Amino acid sequence: MKKRSNRGAARVNAIWLIVLLVLIFVAMFFAYTANDGQVRAEERGALERATTEKVTAEIEVLQVAARAKAEIIGFYDRTDLSATTDVQALKDGREEFKDAIGKDADETKNTFEDLWPLAISQVSAREATIATLRAESKDRSTQLAAARQSASEASSEKDALLATARQEYADLEANNREVTNNLEKQVARLTQERNAQDQAAIDARNANADLRVAMALKASEVTARMREITKVTAFVREPGATDGLITGVSTKLNLAWIDRGTVDRVVRGMVFTVVDANAANPRLKGEVEVLEVFENTSKVAIRITNDQYDVIGIGDKISNPLYDPEGRRNAVLAGRFDGKYSRQEVVLLLKDVGIDVQKTVDRSTMFLIMGNPLYTDPETGETLEEARAVSSLPAYSKAKAIGVQLISLAEIRHFFRR
């Protein structure tokens, strides 16, 4: 019985030993398995971290690219560094862009890439239109400047005419004042005479009747004298006399050229009468006025044409009673010179055409230039009771006696327009 029990105990111990070994192996297996899982978990964690870092880097690249595109396209939140373009806002902007382009953007054009060339084309067309409008505006500005210049010149000419008219009006007023003063003096004198002769009224009436007869005779005498003066002061030219020739004519421009210039004492504003070149049958054809003077020729304007079928032509003769291209001549001024043609202006005008002004008439005098009637005594300067005509001056009587040519101020204005 005891021997059987020992074998059983040994068998139990062996079993426990086997179980213990199995447990040890199992523990070692689980330890190994756990250690391998940890290694694999660490490897998977490292791989996941690498993948995460790569994805994060790619996301950052995509975010930068998306941000750059958003900055170009717009429609994004400027305060958010990672903000991208708002798709709905972009769609709304595209529709507004299509509406702005108009009919050129049809239904097939749904992208900015399709719409942008249309917009560029429209902008280019509008820029061309703007350039055209600017050019037209510049042309109109130039035209406006020219119109303003023309208006300024017209205004200057008008001011000059007004100034001349005012001067002439002032001269008339001065003359009227002198006449009024003279009349007032005469009235005062006559009033004094009337007061002194109140007691002899009948004699005064008789004397007045005689005075009326005398005044009528005097008026008749003055009228006859004025007629004589008018005849005498007309320009007298020798038959066939000529001062030059017409060398060229432009009928379209109404201009001509003469063979007289600065060397021949021609001055701007001088007027020449034009006579037919046919000496056998000379005819007065018109008048020309000097516009520009050159050394040996002058350009003239055709002011008067007597016969439209017999116009001024090359070879026609020109003449001016006061013009002489060579010799020196003398003239005396008699009467009053004021207004547009003052005494000094007449002296300078005559000097330009070779005529010297003398103080008194003598045998060397060729012209007596007659001005307006005098209201003051030329010697004493006192105001005259009655205006004194040039024909009553001693210079006139002497000039007429020795055959001096008489020239009126009106004829000076006619033949020398300045």
8 A C-beta contact, residue 378 and residue 341: no
- Higher local confidence (pLDDT), 65 or 188: 188
pLDDT at 256: 95
Structure confidence by residue, pLDDT tens digits, 248-282: 999 889 999 999 998 888 888 889 999 987 767 77
Cβ neighbours, 10 Å, residue 251: 12
User: How far apart, in whole angstroms, are the C-alpha atoms of residue 97 and residue 105?
Assistant: 9
- What is the CATH class of 238-324? mainly beta
Structure confidence at residue 185 as a pLDDT band (50, 70, 90): confident
Tell me the H-state helices in 333-377.
Answer: 343-352
Structure confidence at residue 234 as a pLDDT band (50, 70, 90): very low
pLDDT at 8: 60
User: How far apart, in whole angstroms, are the C-alpha atoms of residue 197 and residue 191?
Assistant: 10
Structure confidence at residue 213 as a pLDDT band (50, 70, 90): low
pTM for the whole thing?
A: 0.37
- Given a cut of 70, whether residue 142 has pLDDT beyond it is yes
User: How far apart, in whole angstroms, are the C-alpha atoms of residue 73 and residue 181?
Assistant: 97
Instruction: Let me know how many helices (H) and strands (E) the chain has, helices first.
Output: 7, 12
Establish how many alpha carbons lie within 13 A of residue 396's alpha carbon, considering only the half-sphere containing its beta carbon. 19
User: How far apart, in whole angstroms, are the C-alpha atoms of residue 102 and residue 172?
Assistant: 76
In sequence order, what are the beta bridge partners of 287? 273, 304
User: How far apart, in whole angstroms, are the C-alpha atoms of residue 164 and residue 32?
Assistant: 133
> What is the third-level CATH fold of 327-418?
Rossmann fold (3.40.50)
8 A C-beta contact, residue 216 and residue 289: no
DSSP for residue 325: S
| Range 93-109 average pLDDT | 76
User: How far apart, in whole angstroms, are the C-alpha atoms of residue 271 and residue 286?
Assistant: 11
| Range 153-159 average pLDDT | 84
pLDDT at 227: 41
- Higher local confidence (pLDDT), 77 or 401: 401
Q: 87-101 vs 112-196: helix axis angle to the nearest 10?
A: 50
Question: CA distances (Å), 52 to each of 43, 49, 55, 60, 216, in order?
Answer: 14, 5, 5, 12, 141
Average pLDDT across the chain, whole number: 80
Structure confidence at residue 245 as a pLDDT band (50, 70, 90): very high
Domain ranges of the chain: 238-324, 327-418
Structure confidence by residue, pLDDT tens digits, 311-361: 999 999 998 887 777 767 899 999 998 877 888 988 988 888 888 999 999
- Given a cut of 60, whether residue 246 has pLDDT beyond it is yes
